[in-house]
Structure 1
Amino acid sequence: MRAHSLLTTGLLAAAMAITPLTFQNTNLNVVGATAAHASEIKVIVNDEVVTSYDIARRSAFLKLQRRNGNLRQLAIDELTDDALKRSAIKRAGIRIPDSQVDAAFANFAKGNKLSAQQMGKILDQAGVTSKHFKEFIRLQIGWGQTVRMRSQRNSLMSEQDVVAKMLEQGGQKPTSTEYLLQQVIFVIPQDKRSSLLKRRRTEAANMRGRVSGCESTQQLATQIRDVTVRDLGRVLELSLPERWEKDVKGLKEGQTTRVKDTERGVEFLVVCRARAVSDDRVAQLEFSTQALDDAGGDLGKQYLDELRKSARIQKR
């Protein structure tokens, strides 16, 4: 199992605690009325404030999850951790696009046999609000990516460790696929996203159908307005970005990924070349990934503990 799968298997595990049954028999008005009038600062985490309104929304969320205990204190504890995680995500330079959050929100609603609109109405009436739940989703995705990035950076084995591991396995270096990639971006300005998204998806799909290799993408792009082609260079399968990993794996030269909505607009990747490689870099990544697998889900907890120790937390 790849290391990031362990870090993201439970990506929305906390959110998934809300079952269809929980949405039933819930007093939807009391919590919402309370939250609407609360706005006092209760906790300051570094430079981020947690208000009584935030606490009321999270308390309502915990109630929908049927959590036990002092829900207000649980809410404060969770929101404090959330602030620490957000700062770490920001420092890592990770930004989760609205399109990815909206897709996760819709999938969750579908899993509860609801439309996104129906679930949004229930969340709003319960005092959780759709906005709070979507930000919760955004945080889970961003935190998973942050922990994975940090773990990979800190866990690369030394040359001696790699040699020792290879000797354990009979001296054989692992093999991986190396991809030479191009990225085709159909740019959409943020203020025009809602009006242009559908059209740009169609344009991207049409161009993708005409691409036969990396030699043709630049010329095809010049025929369409606001299209950027980037050469991403060589990328090992083990180092593929999580967002594109499943789409790229297994593709051959000249093939493309499916069209995907991103924060920049609409994109797809073109495989210029795909070849099997076996070298020291592959061995280092492969064996380091195995070490991360052994560490499992403790990585996020360890990092959060470090963040707490160095944080400035004031309670009012």
Structure 2
Amino acid sequence: MKKIKNSSLALCIASLMGVTFLHSNAFCAPRAQQAGVSAQTAVAVIVNGNAITNYDIQRRAAFLKLQRKTGNLTAQAKDELIEEMLKRVEMKKRNIDVSDDEVNKAFMGFAERNHMTVAQLTDMLGQAGVTADHFKNYIRVQMGWGRLVSARYRAEGGIISEQEAVQRMLKNGGVKPTANEYELQQVIFVVPSDRRNAILGKRKQDAELFRSKFSGCSNLKQQATTMLDVTVRNLGRVLEPQLPEEWEKAIKATPVGRMTPPQETARGVEAIAVCNIKKVSDDKVAQLVFTIQDNEKSGDKKAEDLSEKYVKELRSKARIENP
């Protein structure tokens, strides 16, 4: 295997949702000498009842060094982890989940984009004192927080008025925008948190078998009764621009009468049944499409501002204790 030299790499955060490597001749220090297990696991700060240890801070400081940050990296690392914990708590509260599979795929994609194998990336992060687990946890929060901000952005962005939508349509020659409307049902293969490690693999197999035998939405609930701990939820009719981000690609690739590939979630293993798809064109669609078009024109700046505002709100309500 080709050896990856720390001296040839540095990390840079490219955007709210992405990270990439920059080639550099900057020296990346080797893993710091451990000061002992008790010192590492000592709690440095408690955020809403959740502990952040000195070891967590050491790894984040190493991550910042890999990004070629300067200044008091320990203080910066502590502040970043406090903010990250606030985001984690809020994601859990809002049922925003990023599966291990999604994180592993992102980790693999990151390695490939930087001409590395997963093993090489893991080795490099370990040598730098960051560790692959720490980086994966960072990826998980970035992905989940992006989804949460996106959902809040759509909610707070506001829908343009019906009158404005009519004016837009008149400018377009009276043509109303169209969108696909999906009729969906959600199938959940429940996995209790205390048994997740033991039965998750089996539940994935159950979901794949269920999907292979799926014969349409009219028989879905009856099919679900043949298996233990399977719940069916009717998601109703959802316009394409309103599809959940984590399911959008899979749903759009699934024909009517079929199910999406199963995904790991906080509840267990889930899949979406696509019961019907039809083109719709009405005032509601027009308002939604025109609103999305407006948001896309100024989306990045608005999303960044909303993220900062959101974090400030969480900090103002947080209980942050230094033992």
Alpha-carbon contact 1:184-1:229 (below 8 Å) kept: yes
| Residue of structure 1 equivalent to 2:3 | none
| Residue of structure 2 equivalent to 1:17 | 21
| Residue of structure 2 equivalent to 1:140 | 142
Distance 1:66 1:260, change over 3 A: same
Distance 1:302 1:91, change over 3 A: farther
1:94 aligns to what SS in structure 2?
Answer: coil
1:37 aligns to what SS in structure 2?
Answer: helix
RCO (CA 8 Å, sep 6+): is it higher in 1 or 2?
1
Point out where structure 1 has 5 or more consecutive residues left out of the alignment.
1-8
Structure 1 residue 57 displacement after superposition: 1.9
| Residue of structure 2 equivalent to 1:222 | 225
Q: Could you report, residue by residue, the CA deviation over 1:184-233 in whole angstroms, capped at 9, with x for unpaired residues?
A: 22222233333333333233222212223112222222222222222211
Structure 1 residue 109 displacement after superposition: 4.3
Alpha-carbon contact 1:99-1:263 (below 8 Å) kept: no
| Residue of structure 1 equivalent to 2:39 | 37
Letter in 1 for 2:96: I
Rounded to whole Å, the distance in 1 between the matches of 2:81 and 2:60 is 8
- What is the 5 A alignment of 1:233-312? 233-249=236-252, 251-307=254-310, 310=313, 311-312=315-316
2:258 aligns to what SS in structure 1?
Answer: coil
Structure 1 residue 142 displacement after superposition: 1.6
- Give 1:164's match in structure 2, choosing from 149, 164, 167: 167
Structure 1 residue 87 displacement after superposition: 5.1
Query: How many corresponding residue pairs?
Result: 303
Alpha-carbon contact 1:28-1:122 (below 8 Å) kept: no
Rounded to whole Å, the distance in 2 between the matches of 1:30 and 1:208 is 49
Structure 1 residue 119 displacement after superposition: 4.3
Distance 1:274 1:31, change over 3 A: farther
Distance 1:188 1:73, change over 3 A: closer
Rounded to whole Å, the distance in 2 between the matches of 1:89 and 1:266 is 19
| Residue of structure 2 equivalent to 1:6 | none
Rounded to whole Å, the distance in 2 between the matches of 1:62 and 1:262 is 30
Q: Could you report, residue by residue, the CA deviation over 1:137-191 in whole angstroms, capped at 9, with x for unpaired residues?
A: 1210121011111111112222233223223322221101111111222222233
Over the matched positions of the two proteins, sequence identity in percent amounts to 42
| Residue of structure 2 equivalent to 1:28 | 30
Compute the TM-score of the two structures, normalised by the length of structure 2. 0.78
Rounded to whole Å, the distance in 1 between the matches of 2:128 and 2:209 is 43
Compute the TM-score of the two structures, normalised by the length of structure 1. 0.79
Letter in 1 for 2:143: I
Structure 1 residue 279 displacement after superposition: 1.1
Rounded to whole Å, the distance in 2 between the matches of 1:194 and 1:88 is 24
2:236 aligns to what SS in structure 1?
Answer: strand
Letter in 2 for 1:145: R
Letter in 1 for 2:18: A
**Root-mean-square deviation (CA), in Å?**
3.4
Structure 1 residue 237 displacement after superposition: 0.9
Alpha-carbon contact 1:179-1:236 (below 8 Å) kept: yes
Structure 1 residue 275 displacement after superposition: 0.7
